[in-house]
Structure 1
């Protein structure tokens, strides 16, 4: 793998990779996202934060095809992804993890990651059914790639263990490895440090930087403000589905609206 999680084409850092423009998402009378606009630049670690119920995961879901925005546009890598199926968005270069670990519990760690690699396999149903040479080649390549990704996230020694027997921290790393197996340009991590102890959080921080250093842009939802402030380049803050702040970690940390949102005090008192 040449030291990188994937082989997706890389381009110069700095230009816009993902652009949300006036995105609104309604469920009946409930406005989950309210006119949200922001953009991610290639090669950065971008934080999406806010109090519980702010709309962070809903935003992820709109970007990954779970929900279709009521209005507004989402452009990824130069093309609109509004209305695309989830598998089409994955193949296009967006991968994600979830707040709650979603693994195949009876599959081994290696097999779980191989499922992610299947997203780019070109073998037809007939080729797989009759075990034709192309199918064997792709399966072997997927196995090698899966093991390399397990090594990348630090759990190669657990490759043959069924995922339900892994520790919680190992399962989190396994889910990241599986997402990387889809060969993403953008990796979206939803609360990856949930349930971690301080040492595990420090290791996660290193892993996120390591992923970015391979050329993958990272979008991070996280409640641990120390982790967010320590790893991100820029941050957007949501509250009740609306963007209330955007900037560098230092700018966001000192923003009165952000302080008010987290501390529950009026803006003029913050």
Structure 2
């Protein structure tokens, strides 16, 4: 009997060890698959027409556990459609795009008509920011860019800037109270310079679509970006940047890529970057 009890006890211990091993093996993958994402750089362009219908877009968000979007479009018709859909379980945060057609990218910062467009769109009453807009270097140093920055501050709006570090500095000089989401976080800018900018400007957040250097060739989070995320866990956002149809086709792959390196961070930091920081910025209260 004692021998039998010993056998049963040993078997139970083996079963427990196997179960623990399975949990250890499956736990990170399960958490990785389930972490929700706030897409803080999304374009639903209507020029010339949407790639997916509104219903198809909403189904794509649901499939890939995207629970919030920073919604923009060129022109703003696509944003109107997403807001009007009032999708359950999805926070839609609309931004005014200062473009009618793609050519406006090259001229908006010197065009008084675009500033009129921004003011007219704002009358809809639901916008939380202006952008994404493109600026490079001294092109940011114009009357109309300053007017846009001042308008944003006056009306409690964020600026979403696709800009180099020089242009970001100029935006902050236009109005030190400006709150800026830095699209692509400088693309290939050094992490030292990114850290310098984040330290200098407490109201600057880095959005990470197309950002190079975060992972190495094997998909491992690089040491310098791990350090940056641990140093500034509340200053980064994720985005898909669906500016062309190919980005919509790869939407699930883009989200999976984020989840792969988020899983390599401490869970609290991963959750902040995945959705917590965006939720904090775009909370219901203003």
- TM-score, normalized by the shorter chain, greater than 0.5: no
- Higher RCO (C-alpha 8 Å, min separation 6): 1
Calculate the TM-score normalised by the size of structure 2: 0.32
Structure number with the higher helix fraction is 2
Calculate the TM-score normalised by the size of structure 1: 0.33
State the structure with more CA Rg. 2
